[in-house]
Amino acid sequence: MDFWFTAFMFAIAILIAVGGTLLLVGYFGTLPASFAFGWKNWLPTLALPIIGPIWFAGTHWSEFSKPGKQLIFGVLLFVVAIALLYGFGPHFVDRMAASGMYRE
């Protein structure tokens, strides 16, 4: 294996792990709190796992800016990881195929 492929996969894994952690922490910071604001707030937060908590944190930004930022940065890290995977992934597959790594 070459070093750049390993570094690429490590970067993807770290972005997904940190992004997922931020999403979970932000979700657990907004979901229980949304129950205190009535069913019109907790229903979208519960039914729409990513958009709902971001909407709730945005409508109550003064109290929930920290979980809102965690949710937004978690989504951004996921988007960066997916963009890297689809942007540079084919490059690494072509390099491995050209080197004969997958011969039977």
Residues 14 and 47: their CA atoms lie apart, in Å, by 28
In this prediction the pTM is: 0.82
Tens digit of pLDDT at every position of the chain (104 positions): 578 888 889 999 999 999 999 999 999 999 999 999 999 999 999 999 899 999 999 999 999 999 999 999 999 999 999 999 998 888 877 877 677 665 55
Output the pLDDT for position 102: 58
Contact, 70 vs 54, CB < 8 A? no
Taking CA atoms, 51 is separated from 16, 62, 63, 84, 99, in Å, by: 18, 18, 18, 23, 43
Contact, 66 vs 29, CB < 8 A? yes
> What does 32-55 look like in DSSP terms, one character per residue?
HHHGGG-HHHHHHHHHSTTHHHHH
Output the pLDDT for position 15: 96
